Amino acid sequence: MIRNITEDELNEQQLFSEKVRQHYSECKPESPPLAYIRTYGCQQNVSDSEHMKGMLAEMGFGFTEQPEEADFILFNTCAIREHACDRVFGNVGALKSLKARRPDVLIAVCGCMVQQEHVAAKLKESYSFVGLVFGTHVIHRLPELLLGALQQRKQMTVIPVEDGVIAEGIPVRRDGDFKAWLPIMYGCNNFCTYCIVPYVRGRERSRDPEIILQEAKDLVAAGYKEITLLGQNVNSYGRGATHGVDFAELLRRINAIEGDFTIRFMTSHPKDATPALFDTIAECKKVSRHFHLPVQSGNDRILKEMNRHYTREQYLSLVAYARHVIPEISFTSDIIVGFPGETREEFEDTLSIVKEVGFTSLFTFIYSPRRGTPAAQMPDPVPLEEKTAWLKELTALQEGISGERLARLVGTKQRALIEAQGDGYLEARLPENSVVRVPGDPSLIGRHAIVKINDARSWIMHGEICSVE
Ligand code: 5AD
Ligand code: SF4
């Protein structure tokens, strides 16, 4: 069952929050406690960490980038591929000596990785210096969990297995002041056969449209220039709810908010992205003309084995329709190389779809077996060396396509968000994510500008600011 967290439950957390504050003011009266938070994985995790930082700030914590000086160390983990999990174990393991030197420091591990039973068991057996382990459905209970862990000597583990919760009204401390993540839904019901997400993030559940709209309005009023709507499959927003607001309607309503800002969203699923959605985007001028639409594979048999529910042709005709109604739209994609049983010929279909679509850029992954998923049971005869060679071939192909695309941008003027300062230049990001280096004053960071692209070499574009909005 999916549950909304009640006001009473939130108020209870406020009481715990106060007790944590008291605990530290007694044990460490000279200065506020410090938290170090390390986030792995996707933007949903980044957003969860921003909410945990909000709760920690309410508990009186300051923040540090140095684990050595922290009183509370939190790893918010990702389970999507084995490599992500290995990194977490390596980085957590490296803190054993810190804990031995400073027994008062509390080390916690949370997020998707610990939601898997075997990971929680490993943390219990081999990482006893970790004081707190908690899953994805109890993030809103951080004050209670932290207090509990401070009061007991052995590892505290809280990993309820449930469909998931929606917790509104949690404080948030955002990392950026002009780009914001705005979750519109949580969980996933798609069960792509390779993917662990539906098992660790629970069932799909959408936030109330009015609450999302209010949050978006508050962000715009606070001067945010880019709002990225988050969900594992944003195209199925509102499915099963009684309010009747689907993703297209949500976009229309956010687009109608007065102000100078851009709306982005991720991730889309090709089976649920409809022509009607592209018609809406064509109308909604604040919606970015960039679409992240993971295809995963260009081969129909593999797509079927992946449980993706679309064919190569359906994907291509969706892209063609989108380009028909929004000629300037750009696409990026995720691709999995070496899905169990994939043959060389089937992989070549992925190469050919990449050529045919002409993606701006790709996120490419070698298939990583996830315990408990159907694909992990499938015969997987292709050796890793061969998959690695395929991956290289794919990335080389994409580099050529991206290079040609960048070359075509030379001489054009583009609207970009000035995001950061480099060594003697500013970085202006185009809607599809490519960066242009431009001279300019750092005070322009956080503003939109029209930039002229003067050259593109070795994946770096150089240009100049024509006007600032
Ligand atoms: N192995 C490799 N890549 C994966 N992804 C998801 N699960 C796996 C896996 N088991 C990739 C998909 C998805 C992206 C977020 O991660 O391409 O779109
Ligand atoms: Fe994983 Fe598929 Fe859900 Fe994306 S849509 S999170 S790939 S199961």
Q: Where are the chain's structural domains?
A: 3-165, 168-405, 413-468
Test site for ligand 2: of 45, 80, 195, most ligand atoms within 8 A of the Cβ: 195
25-29, long-range: CB < 8 A, 24+ apart: 25/60, 27/104, 28/71
Q: What is the number of other CB atoms lying within 10 angstroms of the CB of residue 311? A: 14
pTM over 0.85: yes
Domain 3-165 homologous superfamily, CATH: Methylthiotransferase, N-terminal domain (3.40.50.12160)
195 in contact with ligand 2, CB cutoff 6 A: yes
pLDDT computed for residue 221 by the predictor: 97
Ligand 2 nearest atom to the CA of residue 334, by list position: 7
Pairing of strands 435-438, 448-457: unpaired
Which CATH class name applies to 413-468?
mainly beta
Q: Beta partners for 332?
A: 292, 361
Q: Beta partners for 206?
A: 185
Residue 156 · residue 146 · CB < 8 Å: no
409 in contact with ligand 1, CB cutoff 6 A: no
Residue 360 · residue 333 · CB < 8 Å: no
191 in contact with ligand 2, CB cutoff 6 A: yes
DSSP letter string over 193-252?
A: TT--HHHHH-S-EEPPHHHHHHHHHHHHHTT--EEEEE-TTGGGTTTT-SS---HHHHHH
**For residue 433, which of 264, 281, 273, 270 has the smallest C-alpha distance?**
264
Q: How far is the CA of 84 from the centre of ligand 1 (A)?
A: 11
Q: Which residue has the tokens 């986030």?
A: 39
**For residue 142, which of 99, 179, 173 has the smallest C-alpha distance?**
173
Q: How far is the CA of 190 from the centre of ligand 2 (A)?
A: 6
Q: How far is the CA of 343 from the centre of ligand 2 (A)?
A: 23
Q: What does CATH list as the number for 168-405?
A: 3.80.30.20
Catalogue the E-assigned strands of 252-351: 262-266, 290-292, 330-337
The protein residue with its alpha carbon nearest to ligand 1, atom 12, reads 334
Q: What string of pLDDT tens digits covers the 469 residues of the chain?
A: 888 999 999 999 999 999 999 999 999 899 999 999 999 999 999 999 999 999 999 999 999 999 999 999 999 999 999 998 999 999 999 999 999 999 999 999 999 999 999 999 999 999 999 999 999 999 999 999 999 999 998 999 999 988 999 999 999 999 999 999 999 999 999 999 999 999 999 999 999 999 999 999 999 999 999 999 999 999 999 998 889 999 999 999 999 999 999 999 999 999 999 999 999 999 999 999 999 999 999 999 999 999 999 999 999 999 999 999 999 999 999 999 999 999 999 999 999 999 999 999 999 999 999 999 999 999 999 999 999 999 999 999 999 999 999 999 999 999 999 999 988 899 999 988 889 999 999 999 999 999 999 999 767 899 999 999 8
pLDDT computed for residue 365 by the predictor: 98
Task: Compute the residue count for the chain.
Answer: 469
pLDDT computed for residue 458 by the predictor: 66
Residue 384 · residue 83 · CB < 8 Å: no
